[in-house]
Structure 1
Amino acid sequence: MHYLTERPPDWMKWLLRAAGTWHLAFAVIGLFFPAILLRYLIPGQPAPPQVALEFLGAAALLTAALGAGFLFAASHVFRHWPVVLMGFLAKVALGAGLGLEIVRHRLDPAAWLIVILDNLVWTLAFAVLLHATHEMMLRIRRTVSPDVLRFALRRKTQYGITLDEHSRLTPVLLVFLRHTGCMFCREALSDLARMQPEVEAQGARLVLVHMGREPHAANFFTHYGLENVPRIGDPERTLYRAFALSRGSLLDLFGPKVWWRAFQVGILGRHGMGRPVGDAFQMPGAFLLFHGEIVRTYRHQSPADRPDYLALVTGRDYAAPELRDS
């Protein structure tokens, strides 16, 4: 599995969108209202020097380019991490340059506010983004190495066919479920039962991974009309770990979004809850396999995520989470 198939967390996307908006707004001030900014940086002069106006105009164009780059990179942070690195280096260099000019008394001490808001804050933000990208790459290399994946794909469904064999016949939509008592697991099964004909019409095959055992699994999936779908019981969660699906934190499981979605799914959607069969903290996920390789990935950021499984198969906007109303 390659890091380009990973779906970045939403907070990374929103952070880069905020960075893009901030830098474009700052560029507008520098391009169209340079005198105001220069009077703040160099007070006491009746008119800003022409060279300062020209320098500020060039800096504003560079800032606008950075802002546009950040908005573009927000579409997939892991794929466009060099843009984030460029922004990080630019902020470090510009912040150091402004700080030096303030220390030399060429700029007013009030400019420290710009250094903090426009440089220090975004330097730290970009550092966090780069660190998260680096950690993600390391996690994939450690857990979903080719050898680990090759062994994982030897697991057999209830029909005695391995995942690798399935993936060489048709693309496989491999869905890892939450514990069977989870209302979001039940909602996912309802979605999959409804989408199954469309998934198969795209030439793909659905395979489910759960944490239960037979015959509980047979009875449970029969309730959703999915009793004939190939499935793999993984009570020890070895397959979950092989695909780098981690256990959620308390915030992941009980955050504000989860409570609201729980009301929608459990009460309005009437999916309810049951006795947990499996690890209640285990996070779900979905993968598209073909010829023994992972083509696309969807990792839940919370149990409340509701992915568009058909989009994962077709490749249309699969990285964007879809939180539908029930």
Structure 2
Amino acid sequence: MSIFAFMKLTLQLASIYNILWGAWVVIFPNHFFELVGMELPSQPMIWQGMGMVIAVFGLGYWWASYDALRHWPIVAVGFLGKVFGPLGFVLNYLEGKVPFEFFYTLITNDFIWWIPFFLILKNVHQDYNWKLKEK
């Protein structure tokens, strides 16, 4: 598989995943909490807002899949979210603000995408030199 096919497939899979996950959270905001035995949120609208943001990222990943090098800022923002999200979880968990069960969202939302997104950004660095526009 060429690097371009890899980037396209990665971003399209991330897109589909994000759109489905976001829709699930928006439509069934209590379902995740019920699955892992957590207390239901008192303000599900906040969780639904998170679902909407994740779904919108899915649209961005789909559009970026057509030319990942040119649309690398979308990939970079997604990668940063996938790094800072778990960091925020750790900090909040250590302060006792969030139960451990919330960790399960990090596996599919963040961790599995670290290496593929990193490889795309590595390719952007090596072959595209972080250009923001065509010259």
TM-score class normalised by the smaller sequence: 0.7 to 0.9
Change (3 A) 1:125 1:103: farther
TM-score normalised by structure 2 residue count: 0.83
Paired residue secondary structure (2:87)? helix
Give the one of 54, 61, 65 matched to 1:63.
Answer: 54
Q: Aligned in 2, Cα 1:22/1:58: closer, same or farther, shift over 3 Å?
A: same
Of 119, 125, 141, the match for 2:110: 119
Would you say the 8 A contact 2:83–2:110 is kept in 1? yes
1:89-145 CA distance string (max 9 Å, x none): 12222221122233333333232222222112223321111001211135xxxxxxx
CA RMSD of aligned residues (A): 2.1
Contact 2:19 2:59 (C-alpha < 8 Å) held by counterparts: yes
Structure 1 runs, 4 residues or longer, greater than 6 Å off: none
Contact 1:23 1:63 in 2 (8 A): yes
More strand by share: 1
Shift of residue 8, structure 1, vs aligned partner: 6.0
Query: Where do 5+ consecutive residues of structure 2 fail to align?
Result: 130-135
1:219 matched residue in structure 2: none
Question: TM-score with structure 1 length normalisation?
Answer: 0.37
Partner of 1:9, secondary structure, is helix
Return the match for 1:130 from 110, 121, 125. 121
Q: Residues of 2 paired with 1:66 and 1:41: CA distance?
A: 25
Question: 2:109, 2:78 → 1: CA distance?
Answer: 11
Residue 42 of structure 2 corresponds to which residue in structure 1? 50
Q: Counterparts of 1:41 and 1:97 in 2: how far apart (Å)?
A: 20
Residue 33 of structure 1 aligns with which residue?
Answer: 28
Same amino acid, percent of matched pairs: 22
Note if 1:11 corresponds to 2:2.
no
Match of 1:24 in 2: 19
> How many residues are treated as equivalent by the alignment?
128
Question: Shift in Å at residue 57 of structure 1?
Answer: 1.0
